[in-house]
A = this chain, B = another copy of it.
Amino acid sequence: MTTYKIYAGGDFIETNNSFNVENPYNNEIIAKTFLAGKEEMEIAIEKGLCAEKVMKNLPSYKKYEILMQISDALKKQKNRLATILSQEAAKPMKYALGEIDRAAQTFIIAAEESKRIPKEYVSLDWTEAGAGREGFIKHFPLGLIAGIAPFNFPLNLAVHKIAPAIAAGNPIILKPSRSTPLSTLELAKIIDKTDLPKGALSILPTDRETGNMFVADHRFKLLSFTGSPSVGWRMKNNAGKKKVLLELGGNAGMYIAENTDIKKAVNRSLIGAFAYSGQVCIHAQRIYVHQNIFDTFIAKFIEATSNLKFGTPTNPKTDISAMIDEQNAIRVENWVNEARNQGAKILYGGKRNGTNFEPTILTNTKSEMKVCAMEIFGPVVNIEKVNSISEAVEQINNSQYGLQAGVFTNNIDDMKYSFENLEVGGVIINDIPTFRVDNMPYGGVKNSGFGREGVKYSIQEMTEPKLMVL
Protein backbone atom coordinates (compact mmCIF):
# COMPACT_ATOMS: atom_id res chain seq x y z
CA MET A 1 0.00 0.00 0.00
CA THR A 2 1.28 3.44 -0.92
CA THR A 3 2.03 5.92 1.82
CA TYR A 4 1.55 9.61 1.09
CA LYS A 5 3.45 12.02 3.26
CA ILE A 6 1.75 15.31 3.79
CA TYR A 7 3.33 18.59 2.71
CA ALA A 8 4.09 21.07 5.47
CA GLY A 9 5.96 24.26 4.66
CA GLY A 10 8.03 22.71 1.91
CA ASP A 11 8.72 19.32 3.53
CA PHE A 12 6.99 16.01 3.06
CA ILE A 13 6.37 14.73 6.55
CA GLU A 14 4.62 12.00 8.51
CA THR A 15 2.69 12.57 11.67
CA ASN A 16 1.65 10.16 14.40
CA ASN A 17 -1.90 10.34 13.18
CA SER A 18 -2.24 8.23 10.05
CA PHE A 19 -5.40 7.18 8.27
CA ASN A 20 -6.40 5.16 5.26
CA VAL A 21 -7.95 6.46 2.08
CA GLU A 22 -10.53 4.13 0.55
CA ASN A 23 -12.22 3.74 -2.80
CA PRO A 24 -15.88 4.39 -1.98
CA TYR A 25 -17.00 2.04 -4.73
CA ASN A 26 -15.53 -1.07 -3.16
CA ASN A 27 -14.09 0.13 0.14
CA GLU A 28 -10.63 -1.01 -0.86
CA ILE A 29 -7.84 0.86 0.83
CA ILE A 30 -5.89 2.81 -1.74
CA ALA A 31 -3.27 4.49 0.37
CA LYS A 32 -2.26 5.61 3.80
CA THR A 33 -1.62 9.23 4.69
CA PHE A 34 -1.58 11.52 7.73
CA LEU A 35 -3.50 14.14 9.57
CA ALA A 36 -1.69 17.26 10.57
CA GLY A 37 -2.05 18.35 14.17
CA LYS A 38 -1.48 21.77 15.64
CA GLU A 39 2.25 21.28 15.66
CA GLU A 40 2.46 20.61 11.93
CA MET A 41 0.00 23.37 11.26
CA GLU A 42 2.17 25.76 13.23
CA ILE A 43 5.19 24.81 11.13
CA ALA A 44 3.22 25.35 7.95
CA ILE A 45 1.98 28.74 9.13
CA GLU A 46 5.39 29.93 10.23
CA LYS A 47 7.02 28.85 6.99
CA GLY A 48 4.14 30.39 5.09
CA LEU A 49 4.66 33.71 6.83
CA CYS A 50 8.37 33.53 6.07
CA ALA A 51 7.53 33.02 2.42
CA GLU A 52 5.32 36.11 2.22
CA LYS A 53 8.11 38.49 1.32
CA VAL A 54 9.78 36.34 -1.31
CA MET A 55 6.40 35.56 -2.86
CA LYS A 56 5.48 39.24 -2.95
CA ASN A 57 8.70 40.05 -4.76
CA LEU A 58 8.57 37.30 -7.37
CA PRO A 59 8.57 38.92 -10.79
CA SER A 60 5.73 37.84 -12.99
CA TYR A 61 8.00 35.90 -15.35
CA LYS A 62 9.02 33.66 -12.44
CA LYS A 63 5.43 33.09 -11.39
CA TYR A 64 4.53 32.37 -15.00
CA GLU A 65 7.33 29.80 -15.28
CA ILE A 66 6.38 28.04 -12.07
CA LEU A 67 2.70 27.87 -12.92
CA MET A 68 3.33 26.66 -16.45
CA GLN A 69 5.71 23.97 -15.15
CA ILE A 70 2.94 22.70 -12.91
CA SER A 71 0.46 22.72 -15.75
CA ASP A 72 2.82 20.79 -18.00
CA ALA A 73 3.49 18.19 -15.33
CA LEU A 74 -0.23 17.66 -14.79
CA LYS A 75 -0.70 17.08 -18.50
CA LYS A 76 2.17 14.62 -18.63
CA GLN A 77 0.84 12.57 -15.73
CA LYS A 78 -2.77 12.88 -16.76
CA ASN A 79 -3.72 9.21 -16.81
CA ARG A 80 -1.93 8.30 -13.61
CA LEU A 81 -3.39 11.22 -11.73
CA ALA A 82 -6.86 10.62 -13.11
CA THR A 83 -6.72 7.03 -11.89
CA ILE A 84 -5.81 8.10 -8.37
CA LEU A 85 -8.52 10.76 -8.39
CA SER A 86 -11.04 8.29 -9.78
CA GLN A 87 -10.27 5.84 -7.03
CA GLU A 88 -10.28 8.17 -4.06
CA ALA A 89 -13.48 9.90 -5.12
CA ALA A 90 -15.27 7.09 -6.96
CA LYS A 91 -15.40 9.50 -9.83
CA PRO A 92 -15.97 7.89 -13.24
CA MET A 93 -12.74 7.92 -15.21
CA LYS A 94 -14.07 10.12 -17.99
CA TYR A 95 -14.86 12.86 -15.48
CA ALA A 96 -11.58 12.31 -13.65
CA LEU A 97 -9.65 12.80 -16.87
CA GLY A 98 -11.60 15.96 -17.52
CA GLU A 99 -10.72 17.22 -14.08
CA ILE A 100 -6.98 16.81 -14.69
CA ASP A 101 -7.36 18.74 -17.93
CA ARG A 102 -9.21 21.47 -16.16
CA ALA A 103 -6.66 21.68 -13.36
CA ALA A 104 -3.90 22.04 -15.97
CA GLN A 105 -5.94 24.76 -17.65
CA THR A 106 -6.53 26.54 -14.36
CA PHE A 107 -2.78 26.75 -13.85
CA ILE A 108 -2.33 28.13 -17.38
CA ILE A 109 -4.91 30.81 -16.69
CA ALA A 110 -3.18 31.66 -13.43
CA ALA A 111 0.18 31.83 -15.21
CA GLU A 112 -1.25 34.36 -17.63
CA GLU A 113 -3.11 36.35 -15.02
CA SER A 114 0.01 36.60 -12.86
CA LYS A 115 1.30 38.98 -15.53
CA ARG A 116 -1.95 40.91 -15.53
CA ILE A 117 -2.62 41.64 -11.87
CA PRO A 118 -4.91 44.66 -12.18
CA LYS A 119 -3.34 48.08 -12.01
CA GLU A 120 -5.04 51.41 -12.44
CA TYR A 121 -3.69 54.79 -13.42
CA VAL A 122 -6.23 57.54 -12.85
CA SER A 123 -6.63 61.28 -12.93
CA LEU A 124 -7.20 62.97 -9.60
CA ASP A 125 -7.59 66.52 -10.87
CA TRP A 126 -11.39 66.39 -10.87
CA THR A 127 -11.36 69.27 -8.39
CA GLU A 128 -8.85 71.96 -7.66
CA ALA A 129 -7.71 70.05 -4.60
CA GLY A 130 -6.29 67.39 -6.86
CA ALA A 131 -4.79 69.66 -9.50
CA GLY A 132 -1.61 68.19 -10.91
CA ARG A 133 -2.21 64.91 -9.10
CA GLU A 134 -2.50 61.42 -10.51
CA GLY A 135 -3.26 58.14 -8.82
CA PHE A 136 -1.57 54.77 -9.28
CA ILE A 137 -3.32 51.71 -7.93
CA LYS A 138 -1.44 48.47 -7.62
CA HIS A 139 -2.74 45.27 -6.13
CA PHE A 140 -0.41 43.74 -3.58
CA PRO A 141 -0.66 40.18 -2.25
CA LEU A 142 -2.66 39.86 0.94
CA GLY A 143 -0.34 37.42 2.67
CA LEU A 144 -0.91 33.90 3.88
CA ILE A 145 -4.05 32.27 2.51
CA ALA A 146 -6.09 29.47 4.08
CA GLY A 147 -7.78 27.19 1.59
CA ILE A 148 -10.28 24.44 2.30
CA ALA A 149 -11.28 22.19 -0.58
CA PRO A 150 -14.12 19.66 -0.82
CA PHE A 151 -14.12 16.03 -1.88
CA ASN A 152 -16.10 16.36 -5.08
CA PHE A 153 -13.51 18.03 -7.29
CA PRO A 154 -10.58 17.23 -5.05
CA LEU A 155 -8.00 18.48 -7.50
CA ASN A 156 -9.48 21.33 -9.50
CA LEU A 157 -11.28 23.04 -6.64
CA ALA A 158 -8.03 22.96 -4.66
CA VAL A 159 -6.25 24.32 -7.71
CA HIS A 160 -8.77 27.17 -7.84
CA LYS A 161 -7.29 28.27 -4.53
CA ILE A 162 -3.64 27.35 -5.04
CA ALA A 163 -3.12 28.68 -8.55
CA PRO A 164 -4.53 32.18 -7.96
CA ALA A 165 -2.75 32.37 -4.60
CA ILE A 166 0.59 31.79 -6.33
CA ALA A 167 -0.30 34.09 -9.21
CA ALA A 168 -1.17 36.84 -6.74
CA GLY A 169 2.06 36.31 -4.81
CA ASN A 170 0.59 34.72 -1.71
CA PRO A 171 1.66 31.63 0.24
CA ILE A 172 -1.18 29.20 0.88
CA ILE A 173 -2.01 26.30 3.16
CA LEU A 174 -4.58 24.01 1.65
CA LYS A 175 -6.70 21.53 3.54
CA PRO A 176 -8.06 18.82 1.25
CA SER A 177 -11.03 16.73 2.17
CA ARG A 178 -10.11 13.84 4.41
CA SER A 179 -11.88 11.53 1.95
CA THR A 180 -9.86 12.59 -1.05
CA PRO A 181 -6.42 13.94 -0.16
CA LEU A 182 -4.36 11.99 -2.66
CA SER A 183 -4.71 14.02 -5.81
CA THR A 184 -3.64 17.21 -4.03
CA LEU A 185 -0.74 15.39 -2.38
CA GLU A 186 0.30 14.30 -5.86
CA LEU A 187 0.06 17.94 -6.86
CA ALA A 188 2.31 18.80 -3.92
CA LYS A 189 4.95 16.47 -5.33
CA ILE A 190 4.74 18.22 -8.67
CA ILE A 191 4.92 21.69 -7.18
CA ASP A 192 7.76 20.76 -4.86
CA LYS A 193 9.95 20.17 -7.91
CA THR A 194 9.36 23.64 -9.32
CA ASP A 195 11.00 26.89 -8.25
CA LEU A 196 8.12 27.84 -6.00
CA PRO A 197 9.74 29.13 -2.81
CA LYS A 198 9.57 26.55 -0.05
CA GLY A 199 6.95 27.36 2.50
CA ALA A 200 4.69 29.00 -0.05
CA LEU A 201 2.56 25.86 -0.23
CA SER A 202 1.41 23.34 2.32
CA ILE A 203 -1.15 20.58 1.75
CA LEU A 204 -2.46 19.40 5.08
CA PRO A 205 -5.36 17.09 5.84
CA THR A 206 -6.21 17.86 9.45
CA ASP A 207 -8.31 16.73 12.32
CA ARG A 208 -11.29 18.90 13.15
CA GLU A 209 -9.67 20.88 15.92
CA THR A 210 -6.62 21.74 13.90
CA GLY A 211 -8.86 22.47 10.96
CA ASN A 212 -10.44 25.21 12.99
CA MET A 213 -7.18 27.14 12.83
CA PHE A 214 -7.89 27.79 9.15
CA VAL A 215 -10.82 29.88 10.30
CA ALA A 216 -9.66 31.34 13.56
CA ASP A 217 -5.94 31.95 13.24
CA HIS A 218 -5.37 35.63 12.65
CA ARG A 219 -2.16 35.06 10.72
CA PHE A 220 -4.22 34.00 7.74
CA LYS A 221 -5.33 37.01 5.76
CA LEU A 222 -8.02 35.27 3.72
CA LEU A 223 -10.00 32.08 4.06
CA SER A 224 -11.19 30.53 0.84
CA PHE A 225 -13.65 27.77 1.58
CA THR A 226 -15.52 25.48 -0.76
CA GLY A 227 -17.98 23.22 0.96
CA SER A 228 -21.38 23.07 2.52
CA PRO A 229 -23.44 26.19 3.28
CA SER A 230 -23.96 25.54 6.97
CA VAL A 231 -20.26 25.13 7.63
CA GLY A 232 -19.33 28.05 5.41
CA TRP A 233 -21.59 30.67 6.92
CA ARG A 234 -20.53 29.75 10.42
CA MET A 235 -16.95 30.34 9.40
CA LYS A 236 -17.74 33.84 8.18
CA ASN A 237 -18.67 34.96 11.66
CA ASN A 238 -15.67 33.32 13.30
CA ALA A 239 -13.11 34.62 10.88
CA GLY A 240 -11.96 37.67 12.83
CA LYS A 241 -10.41 40.32 10.64
CA LYS A 242 -9.59 38.14 7.66
CA LYS A 243 -11.44 38.17 4.38
CA VAL A 244 -13.70 35.23 3.65
CA LEU A 245 -14.55 33.71 0.31
CA LEU A 246 -17.30 31.09 0.38
CA GLU A 247 -18.16 28.78 -2.48
CA LEU A 248 -21.10 26.83 -1.18
CA GLY A 249 -23.72 24.71 -2.77
CA GLY A 250 -27.24 25.01 -4.04
CA ASN A 251 -30.19 23.30 -5.54
CA ALA A 252 -29.69 24.61 -9.03
CA GLY A 253 -32.71 25.00 -11.25
CA MET A 254 -33.17 25.17 -14.99
CA TYR A 255 -35.89 25.89 -17.50
CA ILE A 256 -36.62 24.31 -20.83
CA ALA A 257 -38.74 26.49 -23.05
CA GLU A 258 -41.08 25.22 -25.69
CA ASN A 259 -39.02 26.34 -28.65
CA THR A 260 -35.97 24.31 -27.64
CA ASP A 261 -33.93 21.58 -29.30
CA ILE A 262 -35.23 18.86 -27.00
CA LYS A 263 -32.59 16.32 -27.87
CA LYS A 264 -29.80 18.66 -26.87
CA ALA A 265 -31.70 19.65 -23.74
CA VAL A 266 -32.13 16.00 -22.72
CA ASN A 267 -28.50 15.12 -23.33
CA ARG A 268 -27.17 18.06 -21.40
CA SER A 269 -29.73 17.69 -18.59
CA LEU A 270 -28.59 14.12 -18.11
CA ILE A 271 -25.09 15.39 -17.39
CA GLY A 272 -26.48 18.09 -15.14
CA ALA A 273 -28.56 15.66 -13.18
CA PHE A 274 -26.32 12.64 -12.83
CA ALA A 275 -22.68 13.46 -13.55
CA TYR A 276 -20.64 12.27 -10.57
CA SER A 277 -23.89 11.17 -8.96
CA GLY A 278 -25.02 14.76 -8.55
CA GLN A 279 -22.24 15.47 -6.07
CA VAL A 280 -21.60 18.77 -7.77
CA CYS A 281 -22.32 22.26 -6.42
CA ILE A 282 -24.09 23.17 -9.64
CA HIS A 283 -25.86 19.84 -10.02
CA ALA A 284 -29.15 20.33 -11.90
CA GLN A 285 -31.54 19.46 -9.10
CA ARG A 286 -34.71 21.08 -10.38
CA ILE A 287 -35.79 21.07 -14.02
CA TYR A 288 -38.79 23.15 -15.05
CA VAL A 289 -40.16 22.18 -18.45
CA HIS A 290 -42.70 24.06 -20.49
CA GLN A 291 -46.02 22.22 -20.28
CA ASN A 292 -46.30 21.78 -24.03
CA ILE A 293 -43.18 19.65 -24.19
CA PHE A 294 -43.25 18.21 -20.70
CA ASP A 295 -44.40 14.70 -21.61
CA THR A 296 -41.99 14.39 -24.50
CA PHE A 297 -39.13 15.60 -22.39
CA ILE A 298 -39.92 13.22 -19.55
CA ALA A 299 -40.14 10.25 -21.87
CA LYS A 300 -36.84 10.96 -23.55
CA PHE A 301 -35.15 11.79 -20.29
CA ILE A 302 -36.20 8.53 -18.65
CA GLU A 303 -35.00 6.61 -21.64
CA ALA A 304 -31.64 8.35 -21.60
CA THR A 305 -31.28 7.76 -17.88
CA SER A 306 -31.95 4.08 -18.33
CA ASN A 307 -28.96 3.89 -20.66
CA LEU A 308 -26.50 5.18 -18.10
CA LYS A 309 -23.82 2.62 -17.34
CA PHE A 310 -23.16 1.99 -13.67
CA GLY A 311 -19.84 0.54 -12.60
CA THR A 312 -16.37 0.78 -11.19
CA PRO A 313 -15.09 4.36 -11.41
CA THR A 314 -11.83 3.55 -13.18
CA ASN A 315 -13.63 1.94 -16.09
CA PRO A 316 -13.59 4.47 -18.93
CA LYS A 317 -17.13 3.46 -19.94
CA THR A 318 -18.69 4.02 -16.55
CA ASP A 319 -21.24 6.83 -16.43
CA ILE A 320 -22.17 6.62 -12.80
CA SER A 321 -20.54 5.00 -9.79
CA ALA A 322 -20.77 5.03 -6.02
CA MET A 323 -21.50 8.03 -3.84
CA ILE A 324 -18.73 9.32 -1.62
CA ASP A 325 -19.86 7.33 1.43
CA GLU A 326 -22.75 5.31 2.74
CA GLN A 327 -23.84 7.98 5.16
CA ASN A 328 -24.61 10.30 2.28
CA ALA A 329 -26.29 7.58 0.27
CA ILE A 330 -28.57 6.88 3.22
CA ARG A 331 -29.36 10.56 3.55
CA VAL A 332 -30.39 10.76 -0.07
CA GLU A 333 -32.49 7.63 0.30
CA ASN A 334 -34.27 9.13 3.27
CA TRP A 335 -35.01 12.37 1.48
CA VAL A 336 -36.39 10.55 -1.54
CA ASN A 337 -38.58 8.33 0.63
CA GLU A 338 -39.81 11.31 2.59
CA ALA A 339 -40.70 13.06 -0.67
CA ARG A 340 -42.60 10.03 -1.91
CA ASN A 341 -44.49 9.84 1.34
CA GLN A 342 -45.42 13.49 0.90
CA GLY A 343 -46.79 12.93 -2.59
CA ALA A 344 -43.85 13.01 -4.97
CA LYS A 345 -43.80 10.46 -7.73
CA ILE A 346 -40.67 8.49 -8.56
CA LEU A 347 -40.40 8.25 -12.31
CA TYR A 348 -37.15 6.35 -12.28
CA GLY A 349 -34.74 4.85 -9.76
CA GLY A 350 -34.97 5.67 -6.09
CA LYS A 351 -33.16 2.69 -4.60
CA ARG A 352 -29.95 2.40 -2.66
CA ASN A 353 -27.44 -0.40 -2.41
CA GLY A 354 -24.64 0.41 0.03
CA THR A 355 -22.88 3.51 -1.28
CA ASN A 356 -24.64 3.20 -4.60
CA PHE A 357 -27.73 5.22 -5.28
CA GLU A 358 -29.66 4.86 -8.49
CA PRO A 359 -30.13 7.82 -10.81
CA THR A 360 -33.52 9.01 -9.68
CA ILE A 361 -36.17 11.13 -11.36
CA LEU A 362 -38.95 12.68 -9.31
CA THR A 363 -42.00 14.70 -10.20
CA ASN A 364 -45.00 16.11 -8.33
CA THR A 365 -42.59 17.46 -5.76
CA LYS A 366 -43.31 20.46 -3.58
CA SER A 367 -40.92 23.29 -2.94
CA GLU A 368 -40.78 22.56 0.79
CA MET A 369 -39.67 18.96 0.35
CA LYS A 370 -36.02 18.37 1.21
CA VAL A 371 -35.38 16.99 -2.28
CA CYS A 372 -36.30 20.43 -3.60
CA ALA A 373 -35.42 22.86 -0.87
CA MET A 374 -32.09 21.53 0.28
CA GLU A 375 -28.94 20.65 -1.57
CA ILE A 376 -29.34 16.95 -2.27
CA PHE A 377 -25.78 16.33 -3.49
CA GLY A 378 -26.89 13.01 -4.93
CA PRO A 379 -28.16 11.57 -8.23
CA VAL A 380 -31.68 12.89 -7.87
CA VAL A 381 -33.52 15.32 -10.11
CA ASN A 382 -37.00 16.83 -9.84
CA ILE A 383 -38.79 17.59 -13.09
CA GLU A 384 -41.83 19.84 -13.02
CA LYS A 385 -44.18 21.52 -15.44
CA VAL A 386 -44.42 25.32 -15.89
CA ASN A 387 -46.30 27.46 -18.35
CA SER A 388 -44.00 30.42 -18.92
CA ILE A 389 -40.57 31.88 -18.41
CA SER A 390 -41.88 34.00 -15.58
CA GLU A 391 -43.25 30.99 -13.74
CA ALA A 392 -39.98 29.16 -14.30
CA VAL A 393 -37.97 32.06 -12.92
CA GLU A 394 -40.28 32.30 -9.95
CA GLN A 395 -39.83 28.61 -9.22
CA ILE A 396 -36.08 28.70 -9.62
CA ASN A 397 -35.89 31.75 -7.35
CA ASN A 398 -38.08 30.03 -4.78
CA SER A 399 -35.02 28.78 -2.96
CA GLN A 400 -32.61 29.84 -0.27
CA TYR A 401 -29.84 29.22 -2.78
CA GLY A 402 -28.65 30.97 -5.90
CA LEU A 403 -25.56 29.57 -7.53
CA GLN A 404 -26.27 29.07 -11.22
CA ALA A 405 -29.31 28.45 -13.40
CA GLY A 406 -29.76 27.11 -16.91
CA VAL A 407 -32.28 28.36 -19.45
CA PHE A 408 -32.88 26.51 -22.69
CA THR A 409 -34.60 28.95 -25.00
CA ASN A 410 -34.23 30.57 -28.37
CA ASN A 411 -36.10 33.66 -27.37
CA ILE A 412 -34.43 37.02 -26.77
CA ASP A 413 -37.10 38.14 -24.33
CA ASP A 414 -36.66 34.96 -22.28
CA MET A 415 -32.93 35.53 -22.26
CA LYS A 416 -33.20 39.12 -21.07
CA TYR A 417 -35.86 38.26 -18.52
CA SER A 418 -33.75 35.45 -17.12
CA PHE A 419 -30.64 37.55 -16.85
CA GLU A 420 -32.47 40.39 -15.14
CA ASN A 421 -34.52 38.28 -12.78
CA LEU A 422 -32.86 35.02 -11.86
CA GLU A 423 -31.35 35.36 -8.41
CA VAL A 424 -28.13 33.50 -9.07
CA GLY A 425 -24.45 34.09 -9.74
CA GLY A 426 -24.60 32.71 -13.28
CA VAL A 427 -27.30 32.31 -15.90
CA ILE A 428 -26.43 29.76 -18.55
CA ILE A 429 -28.42 30.25 -21.74
CA ASN A 430 -29.01 27.03 -23.65
CA ASP A 431 -27.08 24.88 -21.29
CA ILE A 432 -27.34 23.37 -17.84
CA PRO A 433 -26.56 25.22 -14.61
CA THR A 434 -23.66 22.80 -14.31
CA PHE A 435 -21.70 24.65 -17.00
CA ARG A 436 -18.37 25.94 -15.81
CA VAL A 437 -15.15 26.88 -17.55
CA ASP A 438 -12.22 27.91 -15.43
CA ASN A 439 -11.79 31.51 -16.49
CA MET A 440 -15.36 32.54 -15.85
CA PRO A 441 -16.43 34.25 -12.64
CA TYR A 442 -18.04 31.64 -10.45
CA GLY A 443 -19.95 31.97 -7.23
CA GLY A 444 -23.37 32.30 -5.74
CA VAL A 445 -25.76 34.70 -4.13
CA LYS A 446 -28.18 34.16 -1.27
CA ASN A 447 -27.02 31.17 0.77
CA SER A 448 -24.85 29.84 -2.02
CA GLY A 449 -21.79 31.86 -1.37
CA PHE A 450 -19.86 35.01 -0.81
CA GLY A 451 -17.45 36.36 -3.40
CA ARG A 452 -16.33 34.98 -6.73
CA GLU A 453 -13.74 32.51 -7.91
CA GLY A 454 -12.38 31.97 -11.42
CA VAL A 455 -8.65 32.79 -11.28
CA LYS A 456 -8.84 36.46 -12.29
CA TYR A 457 -11.63 37.03 -9.79
CA SER A 458 -9.88 35.01 -7.08
CA ILE A 459 -6.75 37.06 -7.65
CA GLN A 460 -8.77 40.21 -7.05
CA GLU A 461 -9.99 38.76 -3.77
CA MET A 462 -6.48 37.68 -2.82
CA THR A 463 -4.90 41.09 -3.30
CA GLU A 464 -5.23 44.46 -1.62
CA PRO A 465 -5.23 47.65 -3.68
CA LYS A 466 -2.71 50.28 -2.67
CA LEU A 467 -2.95 53.80 -4.03
CA MET A 468 -0.03 56.08 -4.72
CA VAL A 469 -0.87 59.73 -5.23
CA LEU A 470 1.84 61.52 -7.18
Chain A residues with a Cβ under 8 A of chain B: 59-61, 64, 101-102, 105, 109, 112, 115-117, 119-138, 233, 236-241, 243, 409-413, 415-416, 418-419, 422, 424-431, 435, 437-442, 445, 447, 450, 452, 464-470
Contact = CB atoms under 8 A, between A and B. Distances in A.
Contacts of A440: 122, 124, 130, 135, 467, 469
Identify which of A418, A429, A470 gathers the most chain B CB atoms within 10 Å of its CB.
A470
A439 B238 CA distance: 33
Given A240-B237, A241-B236, A415-B412, A125 B469 contact: no
A122 B470 CA distance: 17
A466 B419 contact: yes
A313 to B, nearest CB: 21
A126 B58 CA distance: 11
A465 B60 CA distance: 24
Contact of A115 (B123, B128, B466): B123
A352 to B, nearest CB: 32
Identify which of A123, A416, A438, A441 gathers the most chain B CB atoms within 10 Å of its CB.
A123
7 contacts: A59-B131, A115-B125, A126-B437, A410-B412, A415-B468, A424-B466, A445-B466
A37 B89 CA distance: 54
Contacts of A431: 469
A110 B350 CA distance: 52
A267 to B, nearest CB: 15
Contacts of A435: 469
Nearest to A409: B412
